Amino acid sequence: MQPPPTDAGTESAIDAVVATVIAEMSAHLVEESRNIRAVLEREIAELGGDTQLVELLGASIEGNVDTVFHVLQHGITTDHLHAPSAAMEYARRLAQHAIPVTALVRAYRLGQSTLLDRIFARIQASSIDPVVGLQVSHRIVSTSAVYIDWISEQVVSAYQVEHERWLANRNNVRATQIRELLSTGGPTDDRLATKQIGYQLAQHHCAAILWIGEPESERDGLSLLEQLAGRICETIEGRPTPLFVAADTLSAWVWIPLGNRPDRLKVSNIRASLGADDLGNAQVALGTAQVGSAGFRTSHLQAQHTRSIAALAEGAQRTVTSYADPCVAVSSLVSSDLPRAHEWIRTTLGPLADNTEAAQRLRDTLRTYFDCRSSHKATALALHLHYNTVKYRVKSAEQMLGHPINENRFDIEQALMLQSWLGSAPAQTQS
């Protein structure tokens, strides 16, 4: 860093150095934002778990960091600021998920501390005069503190307004009771819990999470998801009435009552039915059929894991993903350490793990080849390909692996399945 010449104690000189330091930080806005997000996810447990919320957290952080960088660079006062839209929406979404406002406030304080640590490290590593560096640090701390106080007031106000609106709806009062049942086990008396949430717990049920990226122009996202829940139940004998709870404006939690017949739910029937429907970009993550209040929670947890894996999966979006699908449960376990999982996949598959259309085509062929018990003919029929095309692709896959597939078949098959769910590693982590 080559800061402009300064005279210690001169306000304009301090302003110039602050602007230079922050300009260098701004060049790494995405990196700095990701670092803060990683700290918040690690230190504040309430902020993790939901894929869309975590993504919105990242957008909120980036919006705030970008704004505070502009404030520091250009001396903008809070009178002339507008809160980042992602930050306001994130506060409202936390309210919808009944995440305590204290977690939101703590996130801002911890985010400020994390960013200041990075700024101070950059100042210390520079050639700035120590006296000037101290004055610059003081200016940055005081200015950022004013911004944090101002933005905290904005987002807490947005949270409180949304919290009151959300709880005013009777359906969301029930959602609060269900959240308590899921998080703490709720009342020890299943009959009391059944009365509170209006749903029979003493039976088999399968949980589902339904979500949509963005509602279409004039369509209500929750209305579409409620219709989708009804479509799912139409595939089940007896057409049971689902328990539908809005998780937020873009997602819903559903429990499908199955009585004493868990075998009534068939994922293949759901896929066949929904494949013909106009669902826009709606998606479904299913748990497995479980029994009782414990099963009510277990199946929902499975659906949450399934949703996280569906968001990572490579290739086209799957309308319906089930926890019972091959390798989904295992993928949800290893997804807690994605870098290590991608490293193992890369070590096992070599260039076959590349994020290219050619490599993905070979992976798809090889997975089908394994499913067809290494039969070129059966694979050709399954993929509607010529026999010789399958032979050529299998041979090409072996060339990428660097050895015949039978030498390490189990690991290859597992790596192929894991990559299909976890997706390809980001380009910067591939070797």
Is there a domain that residue 176 lies in? no
Calculate mean pLDDT across residues 165-188.
Answer: 74
Whether the predicted pLDDT of 44 surpasses 80: yes
Same domain, yes or no: 65 and 145 = yes
Mean pLDDT of the chain: 87
CATH code of the domain in which 107 resides: 1.10.490.10
Same domain, yes or no: 249 and 148 = no
Is there a domain that residue 211 lies in? yes
Same domain, yes or no: 16 and 161 = yes
Q: 168, 192, 223: which is the final residue of a domain?
A: 168
Is there a domain that residue 2 lies in? no
Same domain, yes or no: 49 and 164 = yes
Whether the predicted pLDDT of 218 surpasses 60: no
3-class secondary structure for the chain?
A: CCCCCCCCCCHHHHHHHHHHHHHHHHCCHHHHHHHHHHHHHHHCHHHCCCHHHHHHHHHHHHHHHHHHHHHHHHCCCHHHCCCCHHHHHHHHHHHHCCCCHHHHHHHHHHHHHHHHHHHHHHHHCCCCCHHHHHHHHHHHHHHHHHHHHHHHHHHHHHHHHHHHHHHHCHHHHHHHHHHHHHHHCCCCCHHHHHHHHCCCCCCEEEEEEEEECCCCCCCCHHHHHHHHHHHHHHCCCCCCCCEEEEEECCEEEEEEEEECCHHHCCHHHHHHHHCCCCCCCEEEEECCCEEHHHHHHHHHHHHHHHHHHHHHCCCCCCCEEECCCCCHHHHHHHHHHHHHHHHHHHHHHHHHHCCCHHHHHHHHHHHHHHHCCCCHHHHHHHHCCCHHHHHHHHHHHHHHHCCCHHHCHHHHHHHHHHHHHHCCCCHHHCC
Q: 302, 325, 348: which is the final residue of a domain?
A: 325
Whether the predicted pLDDT of 186 surpasses 70: no
Number of domains into which the chain is organized: 3
Residue 184: band (very low, low, confident or very high) from pLDDT cuts 50, 70, 90: low
Whether the predicted pLDDT of 431 surpasses 70: no
pLDDT number for residue 345: 93
CATH code of the domain in which 313 resides: 3.30.70
Same domain, yes or no: 144 and 30 = yes
pLDDT number for residue 256: 96
* Residue 313 structural domain: 206-325
Calculate mean pLDDT across residues 201-218.
Answer: 82
pLDDT number for residue 8: 46
Is there a domain that residue 185 lies in? no
Is there a domain that residue 57 lies in? yes
Same domain, yes or no: 119 and 17 = yes
Same domain, yes or no: 235 and 381 = no
Residue 429: band (very low, low, confident or very high) from pLDDT cuts 50, 70, 90: very low
Is there a domain that residue 381 lies in? yes
State pLDDT tens for residues 400-425.
999 999 888 999 999 999 998 988 87
Residue 428: band (very low, low, confident or very high) from pLDDT cuts 50, 70, 90: very low
Same domain, yes or no: 318 and 349 = no
Residue 277: band (very low, low, confident or very high) from pLDDT cuts 50, 70, 90: low
Is there a domain that residue 190 lies in? no
pLDDT number for residue 188: 56
Q: 144, 168, 192: which is the final residue of a domain?
A: 168
Is there a domain that residue 201 lies in? no
Same domain, yes or no: 86 and 154 = yes
Same domain, yes or no: 152 and 69 = yes
- Which residue would you say has higher pLDDT here, 427 or 307? 307
What percentage of the chain has pLDDT greater than the value 70? 91
Same domain, yes or no: 92 and 220 = no
Q: The whole model's pTM is what?
A: 0.71
Whether the predicted pLDDT of 209 surpasses 80: yes
- Which residue would you say has higher pLDDT here, 211 or 5? 211
Same domain, yes or no: 82 and 123 = yes
State pLDDT tens for residues 317-364.
678 999 999 999 999 999 888 899 999 999 999 999 998 999 999 999
